[in-house]
Structure 1
């Protein structure tokens, strides 16, 4: 799977307003599922689904402590997707036109 496929899956995961809000909430630090749930008007199984989607693409780490799940952002993965988007929208060292043609970019 190339970077475009992998990053498209990540972007698809965050293309949901609830998951985007979850990421924003977790940007403040690790939280228990019950604390995250207080910010939404949906059930615990729905939150579990959203967290699974985010964890499956690697943006969220899950830590189990007894019966509780604690969630935090994987900052390396988050920074990688931000860098990828920055590279896509701007000329960069890894610009696709340089890779394809091995020439000066006309972006």
Structure 2
């Protein structure tokens, strides 16, 4: 990031930055989580790594995921070390996150 860009964003609150993001929610979730696989996970890396804070542990040891405000960064898929726990695909055409100029 160049100096002018970093200076431009330095004084902007997170809420103001998020106002430049639109989520076009599709009917099909582009990420699915297999709670049965997650029950044996000890790290819960997806919960702490997701920048949108969309993963939540459930009382029965599983993981709940809400895809509606996903940034589509793939962080959850990259940090998960439990095979088959997270299935990640791109949203259907015309859906997903849209970044606008602020």
Q: Highest CA radius of gyration, 1 or 2?
A: 1
> Taking structure 2 as the reference length, what is the TM-score of the superposition?
0.34
- TM-score normalised by length of structure 1: 0.33
Q: Identify which of structures 1 and 2 has the higher relative contact order when contacts are C-alpha pairs closer than 8 Å and 6+ apart.
A: 2
Which structure's residues are more often strand, by fraction?
2
